[in-house]
Amino acid sequence: MKFKKVLVTGGAGCIGIEVCKNLERRGIPTHLLDVTEQVARTKHALPKSVRIFYGSILDTSTIREAIEGCDAVIHLAAMLGVKRTEVNKLRCLEINIEGTKNVIDCCIQHRVKKIVFASSSEVYGEPFENPVNEKTPTQGKTVYAVSKLAAEELCKGYAQRYPLDYTILRYFNTYGQYQTAQFVLPKFILNALNGRPPIIYGDGDQLRSFCYASDTADGTVRALLSDKASGEVFNIGNSQQKMSLKELANLVLEVTHKDKRITPVFKKGFIGADRVATREINIRFCNISKAKEILGYEPKVDLVTGIKKLSEPGVIFEKWETTELPYLQEENS
């Protein structure tokens, strides 16, 4: 499929930046919509050709302005972070569900041909089977997962009534530059760079598959451009990069060349963690055979290379951007 111009919501975030770069390399004009504070933090990393629009997906007038002239949308904007969303359940539901509805409504009004929706592996909860494929039953354990499942159904429901093509992508543990240290890998790296031990909650045997942001972005753009992706759901991740959290912590210490006397610290309780024990996921990693076969998707960045990229100065943020602070409770309240 060919498109004249693409809108990327949440385009100034970790994945969004890489999506915009990917689109630029393909010669596809791009509009970006994101909140002011996020753009201010990452504008220097964005392609110069991208046209930036400032605002929230809760403001339909801003979406309408940004979507003007676009015939496709990659919808990445969302409220993220397990603890952040659990502490602020209503705001999470509002942004991730109502915000998505606003984006889709504007797609219909402006006769957009296709929307690619960024969902999450969180929708699988603690999977009944691993590796997880797209037919694995969903069972969200968090409000964030529930919000993503609801937004997936919005895409399907609108497509039944209106001529809007959609593809749903379930991202597995994406990491990359300009990510907040509220996610496990940038948190481990930031601790190591500052001479502090990586902190692991639980026994560290939790198993995940990690995917660098440029690979996630490549899968996203491939899904946008593929005629065969219409109405489909794809897992997007790196099935070759599965690793336990204790293995990951030790790899981070090795790659960052920190004092060998620093070792991971294990905490039995979950005080200070981004999850509670009842909502911890023990094992979840992806099967991406469908994306490989239909999209030609093949992740390229290995973990060691990715950790080195994330160890560069100034590419990990300690805290979230502040746009939502008037609405959100503090996470430690």
Does residue 112 register a pLDDT over 50?
yes
CATH ID of 179-207+241-287+298-317, from 3.90.850.10, 3.90.25.10, 3.90.1150.10, 3.40.50.970: 3.90.25.10
Distance CA 3, CA 71 (A): 6
Distance CA 131, CA 1 (A): 30
pTM of the model: 0.94
- Rounded to an integer, the average pLDDT of 84-110 is 96
Q: Per-residue confidence at 332, pLDDT binned at 50, 70, 90?
A: very low
Does residue 302 register a pLDDT over 60?
yes
Contact present, 223 and 116 (Cβ < 8 Å):
yes
Does residue 324 register a pLDDT over 70?
no
Tokens of 128: 């009944």
Residue 81: per-residue pLDDT: 83
Does residue 253 register a pLDDT over 60?
yes
Residue 328: per-residue pLDDT: 39
Higher pLDDT, 317 or 328: 317
Averaged pLDDT of the chain:
92
Tell me the pairing of strands 211-212 and 174-175: parallel
**Active site positions, annotated:** 144
Where do the domains of the chain lie? 6-176+212-236, 179-207+241-287+298-317
Among residues of the chain, what percentage have pLDDT more than 70?
A: 93
Q: Per-residue confidence at 279, pLDDT binned at 50, 70, 90?
A: low
| 202: alpha, beta or left? (left if phi > 0; alpha if psi -120 to 50) | left
- Cβ neighbors of 261 (< 8 A, separation 6 or more) are none
CB atoms within 10 A of CB 137: 11
Q: Residue 102: which H helix or E strand, with range?
A: helix 99-109
Q: Per-residue confidence at 261, pLDDT binned at 50, 70, 90?
A: confident
φ, ψ for residue 200, nearest 5 deg:
-115, 125
Contact present, 217 and 15 (Cβ < 8 Å):
yes
Amino acid at 225: L
Of 13-27, 62-76, 124-138, 311-325, the range with the lowest mean pLDDT is: 311-325
pLDDT digit string (tens) for 159-212? 999 999 999 999 999 999 999 998 999 999 999 999 999 999 989 999 999 999
pLDDT digit string (tens) for 237-252? 999 888 999 999 999 9
Task: Classify domain 6-176+212-236 at the CATH topology level.
Answer: Rossmann fold (3.40.50)
Residue 276: per-residue pLDDT: 61
Q: Per-residue confidence at 46, pLDDT binned at 50, 70, 90?
A: very high
